[in-house]
Amino acid sequence: MKYYLTIAIAVMLSAFTLPGNPSIHSFKVKSIEGGTIDFSKFKGKKILVVNTASKCGYTPQYEALEKVYEQYKDKLVIVGFPANNFGGQEPGSDGEIQEFCKARFGVTFPLASKISVKGDDTAPIYQWLTHKNQNGVLDAEIKWNFNKFLLDENGKMIAYFESKVKPDSEEILKYLN
């Protein structure tokens, strides 16, 4: 009896220690506005997660991100994650970043509070996005700003796109049409 109880406990504990949760819906992150972005509220929509920066050569992608968001908002949510990991290209405070995005590009999609997307202080959501043993699908290395992760309606990883892939490119839009 003791043997079977030990096995039962081990099996139950393994459920908590197995690698990864294959859904992004378990994450909640701080919003740039001070509230919370709860990814469980995006169930039923695809999610495009992008690490952003205000002083990057790819910063004009904010415009295309906003257009894609407006065009597909019934079935897609875009969440931007400002990060200062590359060349100090996002030095501003949350308030400064938010003002820049709204004034310059008319951004209305959700923006998270500034985080780290690489290194020892990588935010948990980016650890999940970049490690196959957590997301269940792929490993990705964030090499620069404006990397994109596309997730399906169930919060499972579909694809990863490097900076050079524009938000309105066929590579991404084929998943939305």
Per-residue 3-state assignment (H helix, E strand, C coil) for 36-57: EEEHHHHCCCEEEEEEECCCCC
Please state at what angle helix 61-72 crosses helix 94-105, rounded to 10 degrees.
70
Torsions phi, psi for 38 (to 5 deg): -105, 110
Tell me which residues are annotated as active site: 56
Find out whether 64 and 171 touch, Cβ atoms under 8 Å: no
Chain centre to alpha carbon of residue 177: 21
